[in-house]
């Protein structure tokens, strides 16, 4: 797989100038989320200092729709952009990946895709999804989630700038961190794990545990290391993809309005207890065996006040179980049938 160049540290945003020069950019498209105030950061000033024309694209929502990607591609072509910088969470980076590849432009075939792939620099503003490190993108069409996978979706450059995490609300910080932790653990036990992916998972888990409280207190060092941890967990799932807890969490987010990481973290300990047999992962969490590690995880959720939604109707369990994408479960270390999944939802939701 293609290698990407990752810069981290407090002045890493200054490397944007070097990259602009290296790729010979003349017209930049800047993709960023609508909730993110670019003016509050030194990024805009840095880009402006190059004197290069910048086109802004922020016309997309949290679960980006296919049509907004098409709009982005049109704008990209109209403005003759030749370099994409994305600044945001997983959605902004995923949209930018698709625009960079022109994946969704129906007028183009696969041969021209190769020629139109433009360089892409991604700057995550959350330490969680690891989208900057993966060759997947999640795009919604008619409200339904589509996962696109293409090696060329992987951004060419990544800038991990810790200050970008400073203004995140506390709930979002907790949930994105838990997403990274779930991704590192799921990647480890995935059927597709490799010695390389397990090493990424191990490093990510260690960094998350060592920096959790500094990060939650919004200290610079914690923010910096959590960005690196989320990036490593992203590298791990880039090889393995995720497993049952992620497959089960999607319907919980849409049904109960939970953040993605919140929902994944509720699912993970119950799935782990059902499967068992991952003492090596438990040891990476500093525990002796599965049950100790699961209890540690559950206590962590209580401490962080990441709790199941209230007033859940038991009648809903069937439709939740039906919603699980079986294809994603092929990757799970243990086969789970619909009854088991329903039972797991019952435990997760405490009904």
How near is the Cβ of 88 to Zn ion at its closest, in Å?
15
Find residue 85's DSSP bridge partners: 30, 121
Instruction: Kindly tell me which of 105 and 179 has the beta carbon lying closer to Zn ion.
Output: 179
Output 263 or 281, the one with its CB closest to Zn ion: 263
Q: Is 306 helix (H, G, I), strand (E, B) or coil?
A: coil
Burial 102-118 (b: 16+ CB within 10 A, else e): bbbbeeeeeeeeeebbb
Structure tokens at 41: 């950061």
Measured CA angle at 133 (ends 130, 139), to 5 deg: 70
Measured from the CB atom, is 156 or 179 closer to Zn ion?
179
Contacts of 193 (CB under 8 A, 6+ apart): 187, 201, 239, 240
By beta-carbon proximity to Zn ion, the closer residue of 94 and 179 is 179
Phi, psi of 307 (to 5 degrees): -115, 160
Using the contact rule CB under 5 A, the part of the chain among 20-28, 155-163, 174-182, 343-351 near Zn ion is 174-182
Among 105, 179, 186, 203, binds Zn ion (CB under 5 A): 179
Q: Which long-range contacts (CB under 8 A, 24 or more apart) does 142-151 make?
A: 145/63, 145/250, 146/66, 148/98, 148/103, 150/101, 150/103, 151/1, 151/2
Using CB under 5 A as the binding criterion, the count of chain residues that bind Zn ion stands at 1
To Zn ion, the closest distance from the beta carbon of 27 in angstroms equals 33
CB of 157 to Zn ion, least distance (A): 22
Contact call for residues 339 and 324 (beta carbons, < 8 A):
no
Cβ proximity to Zn ion, 179 vs 203, nearer residue: 179
Q: How far is the CB of 116 from Zn ion (least distance, A)?
A: 29
Is the Cβ of residue 103 or residue 176 nearer to Zn ion in the bound state? 176
Window 256 to 315, contacts with Zn ion (CB under 5 A): none
Closest CA to 246 of 229, 271, 228: 271
Cα 266 to Cα 4: distance, rounded to the nearest angstrom: 32
Tell me how far, at minimum, the Cβ of 130 lies from Zn ion, in Å.
Answer: 8
Nearer to Zn ion, 162 or 261 (CB): 261
- Window contacting Zn ion (CB under 5 A); options: 20-28, 106-114, 175-183, 293-301: 175-183
Give 72 or 128: the residue with its C-beta nearer to Zn ion: 128
Interaction between residue 186 and Zn ion (CB under 5 A)? no
Stretch that binds Zn ion, among 14-22, 74-82, 179-187, 211-219 (CB under 5 A): 179-187
Which residue of the chain is nearest Zn ion when measured via CB? 179
Q: Which stretch binds Zn ion (CB under 5 A): 94-102, 177-185, 219-227, 341-349?
A: 177-185
For residue 313, the tally of other CB atoms under 10 A from its CB is 8
In the complex, which residues of this chain contact Zn ion (CB under 5 A)?
179
């Amino acid at each position: 797989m293609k290698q990407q160049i990752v810069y981290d540290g407090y002045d890493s945003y200054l490397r944007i100038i070097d990259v602009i020069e290296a790729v010979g950019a003349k017209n930049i498209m800047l993709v960023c989320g609508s909730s993110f105030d670019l003016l509050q950061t030194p990024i805009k000033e840095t880009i402006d200092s190059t004197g290069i024309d910048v086109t802004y694209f922020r016309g997309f929502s949290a679960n980006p729709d296919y049509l907004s990607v098409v709009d982005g591609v049109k704008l990209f072509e109209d403005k003759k952009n030749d370099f994409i910088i994305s600044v945001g969470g997983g959605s902004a980076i995923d949209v930018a990946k698709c625009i960079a590849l022109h994946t969704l432009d129906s007028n183009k075939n696969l041969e021209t895709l190769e020629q139109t792939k433009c360089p892409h620099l991604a700057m995550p503003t959350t330490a969680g999804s690891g989208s900057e490190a993966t060759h997947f993108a999640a795009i919604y069409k008619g409200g339904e989630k589509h996962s696109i996978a293409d090696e060329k979706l992987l951004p060419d450059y990544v800038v991990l700038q810790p200050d970008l995490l400073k203004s995140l609300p506390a709930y979002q910080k907790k949930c994105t961190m838990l997403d990274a932790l779930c991704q590192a653990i799921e990647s480890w036990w995935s059927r597709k794990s490799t010695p390389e992916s397990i090493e990424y998972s191990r490093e990510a888990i260690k960094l998350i545990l060592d920096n959790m409280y500094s990060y939650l207190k919004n200290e610079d060092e914690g923010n910096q290391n959590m960005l690196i941890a989320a990036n490593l967990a992203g590298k791990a799932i880039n090889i393995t993809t995720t497993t049952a807890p992620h497959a089960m969490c999607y319907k919980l987010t849409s049904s109960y309005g939970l953040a993605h990481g919140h929902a994944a973290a509720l699912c993970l300990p119950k799935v782990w207890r059902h499967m068992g047999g991952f003492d090596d992962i438990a040891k990476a969490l500093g525990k002796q065996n599965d049950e100790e590690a699961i209890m540690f995880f559950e206590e962590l959720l209580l401490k962080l006040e990441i709790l199941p939604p209230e007033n859940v109707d038991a009648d809903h369990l069937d439709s939740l179980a039906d919603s699980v994408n079986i294809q994603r479960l092929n990757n799970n270390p243990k086969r789970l049938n619909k009854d088991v999944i329903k039972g797991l939802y019952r435990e997760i939701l405490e009904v």
